[in-house]
Structure 1
Amino acid sequence: MEEGTKQEILLESGTNEMEIIEFYVGAQPLGINVQKLKEIISFDESALTVIPDTDPAMLGVLMMRGSTIPLLDLKTHLKQRCLEPTETSQRPVVMVCEFNHRINGFKVDGVNQIHRIRWSDVQPLAEFIDQYRPRFTGSVNIDGREILILDLEYIIGEFDPDSVLTLEKEGEFSHVTDRALIQRQSKKILMAEDSNVIRSNLANVLRERGFSQLEVFIDGEACYARVLELKHQAEEEGHDISQHLSLVVSDIEMPKMDGLTLCRRIKETLGYKHIPVVLFSSLINPPMEVKCDSVGADGYASKPELPKLVRIMDEYLGIEG
């Protein structure tokens, strides 16, 4: 898909809608957010440089317009981990995707079409399934086909751990004074993140950095319900909401309610323009920054830039080192 075509399908921010591209691995329909897709190209084996002694699913690096990108065979990888794809395509294609400020290629058996869906139509996988299939963030039924939404970040993280959110490494964070830690402990933070792994790691990092009054939610809808509870509590007590809520951190891609919609509802529907909302997502790039600004987000950081996220939080919370 060329850049111009991609721009034409971008949706208005904060409508709780997204575009997914449906593709196939064997007979299994899968989907990803179109905003991660740069283009689709034919698979040219002659442009591939094989890297010895790597995982069978890592085909090597693909030469594309003078630069190289890693190429992952999704069929091989998913067959190794969780799916049993059937059928083999005679004309495989490569989806070139960009997220977390990195470009990767994914070999698939074919591409069907783009669908506009509502995040509320995306059903989270059952918890017992999610334990075994963290590579999928949910599923959506379109014309009788159950399309699994693929978590590309998780899959790339299995090959390149530095590309995803992990617990802090030595030297990643600047020294934090006792004064800053005490200030952070008084702040009441809500966080929405649908990935079990990222949600757990991010919560651990923030709590270790002093944000002890942190509440976590599995999606934007659950987080917004909590904001409404705090709103009613503040009104009953005759307080401003800021007595009960200091800041919201949210992913963008989430079932039920996405982060852009969550932000818009906090800022516009409820009128809480003074409550900082920071979006933390692998989708952050210049076009997405425009969308974040359009819904009133106070800041944004790309996964896995945890130090940047904490700096933004401190800035809007008035934390002084």
Structure 2
Amino acid sequence: MTTHASKQEILLESGTNELEIIEFQLRRQLPDGSEKISYFGINVAKVREIIKVPETTDYPNAHPSVVGIFNLRERLIPLLDIAHWLKIPVASDLSEKRVIVTEFNKQFSSFLVDGVTRIYRISWGNVESPSQFLESRDTDCVVAVIRMEERLIMILDFEKIFADINPAQSMESYDISLDQKVLQSEQMVQRRGDKTVLAVDDSAFIRKLIEKTLITAGYRVISANDGAEAYDMLMEFEQIAHSEGGNIGDHVSLIISDVEMPRMDGMHLVKRLREREIYVKLPVIMFSSIMSEENRRKALLVGADDTVTKPEIGTLVEMVDRYIFGP
């Protein structure tokens, strides 16, 4: 089974707040010998193909959840046992399992699953944020939940999983205080301290990294869990600005937004904001793991000023400086 991103690209371009997900299964083995099926989802835009389990080669000192590596079309790709990472006991027989090959954060990877069901096209408005209980857990890896008639589909934070498996390539390894490309004079840090950046991302893991990086540089940072929360927040700022005779820039100097988010995605957020005159000049940077050249073009078409591909968090401060203070 090979997926094609053409429909997803159309959805992103039109800003209709829709997405396509691939549903996959993990079958928990219960003590009585029965099994319980859990359903998960991944955005089609992250998936390159779905294959049978390949022969793998052990990789020395790899993470315990890494099965090994394999060669696919001249690429060496790591295979992650997602059930092992999630601590879900499943059957060891590989004959009926499938491997989802992904590309995001400019990296190829793959995930071992018990089965792939189908592709759904849904509105982000029907994708819910996880409960506050889940959101507050340090180990949480569920960024969204989709209610189907007979089951729940959980969307996993694959960026967080990937960072745990490959810490050397994770955004967590970036330390802005050691980045000589970023201006860190006392005067510049003070200038940044007068500006507020709104970070919008459904991943608590990513939000914390953005906040840490920008705050270390001197910026004030506020955050939202998804596009809908960000939009509501901005509407409140708009009302305050209107009543006080100010403008939106008095409250938010720039927005950094993910693309994939429950309730309202980043593309739709930008499109709605640009329809209102007060937000026409407010700088918006899209920060996404699926920011290909084609998706960058679409982001710019809906009104984004610039884009950054995860995990290139090291370019964020320079870009924010440029759009807030000028070249």
> Counterparts in 2 of 1:119-268, with a 5 A limit?
119-130=124-135, 131=137, 134-166=140-172, 168-169=174-175, 171-174=178-181, 175-212=183-220, 214-268=221-275
Instruction: Give the distance between the partners of 1:189 and 1:68, measured in 2 at CA.
Output: 38
Instruction: Give the distance between the partners of 1:256 and 1:161, measured in 2 at CA.
Output: 30
In percent, how many aligned pairs have the same letter? 34
Tell me if the contact between 2:248 and 2:278 (Cα under 8 Å) persists in the aligned partners: no
For structure 2, list consecutive stretches of 5 or more residues without a partner in the other structure: 28-36
1:191 shift after superposition: 1.6
Instruction: Give the distance between the partners of 1:9 and 1:249, measured in 2 at CA.
Output: 22
Instruction: Give the distance between the partners of 1:124 and 1:42, measured in 2 at CA.
Output: 32
Summarize the Cα distance change of 1:112–1:89 in structure 2 as closer, same or farther, 3 Å threshold.
Answer: farther
Tell me if the contact between 1:17 and 1:118 (Cα under 8 Å) persists in the aligned partners: yes
1:38 to 28, 44, 48: 48
> Counterparts in 2 of 1:274-289, with a 5 A limit?
274-289=281-296
1:133 shift after superposition: 5.0
Tell me if the contact between 2:21 and 2:44 (Cα under 8 Å) persists in the aligned partners: yes
Tell me if the contact between 2:17 and 2:123 (Cα under 8 Å) persists in the aligned partners: yes
How many residue pairs get aligned? The number is: 313
Instruction: Give the distance between the partners of 1:9 and 1:201, measured in 2 at CA.
Output: 28
Instruction: Give the distance between the partners of 1:294 and 1:256, measured in 2 at CA.
Output: 21
Amino acid at match of 1:29: Y
1:105 shift after superposition: 1.2
Moved more, 130-139 or 140-149: 130-139
Summarize the Cα distance change of 1:66–1:303 in structure 2 as closer, same or farther, 3 Å threshold.
Answer: closer
1:76 to 84, 88, 98: 84
Tell me if the contact between 1:88 and 1:109 (Cα under 8 Å) persists in the aligned partners: no
Tell me if the contact between 1:166 and 1:304 (Cα under 8 Å) persists in the aligned partners: no
The corresponding residue for 2:33 is none
1:242 shift after superposition: 2.6
1:125 shift after superposition: 2.0
Instruction: Give the distance between the partners of 1:173 and 1:206, measured in 2 at CA.
Output: 15
SS in 2 for 1:158: helix
1:137 shift after superposition: 0.8
Structure 1 stretches of 4+ moved >6 Å: none
Instruction: Give the distance between the partners of 1:67 and 1:88, measured in 2 at CA.
Output: 26
Tell me if the contact between 1:167 and 1:202 (Cα under 8 Å) persists in the aligned partners: no
Tell me if the contact between 1:135 and 1:155 (Cα under 8 Å) persists in the aligned partners: yes
Instruction: Give the distance between the partners of 2:2 and 2:275, measured in 1 at CA.
Output: 34
Amino acid at match of 1:287: E
Tell me if the contact between 2:196 and 2:252 (Cα under 8 Å) persists in the aligned partners: yes
1:313 to 316, 320, 325: 320
TM-score, structure 2 as length reference: 0.88
Question: Which whole-Å deviations, capped at 9, do the CAs of 1:235-293 have from their partners, x for residues lacking one?
Answer: 22333333333211112222222111111111124562211011112121112212211
SS in 2 for 1:166: helix
Tell me if the contact between 2:53 and 2:99 (Cα under 8 Å) persists in the aligned partners: yes
The corresponding residue for 1:23 is 24
Instruction: Give the distance between the partners of 2:206 and 2:232, measured in 1 at CA.
Output: 21
- Computed over aligned residues only, the root mean square deviation of the Cα atoms, in angstroms, reads 2.2
Instruction: Give the distance between the partners of 1:89 and 1:143, measured in 2 at CA.
Output: 30
Instruction: Give the distance between the partners of 2:248 and 2:147, measured in 1 at CA.
Output: 38
Instruction: Give the distance between the partners of 1:296 and 1:314, measured in 2 at CA.
Output: 19
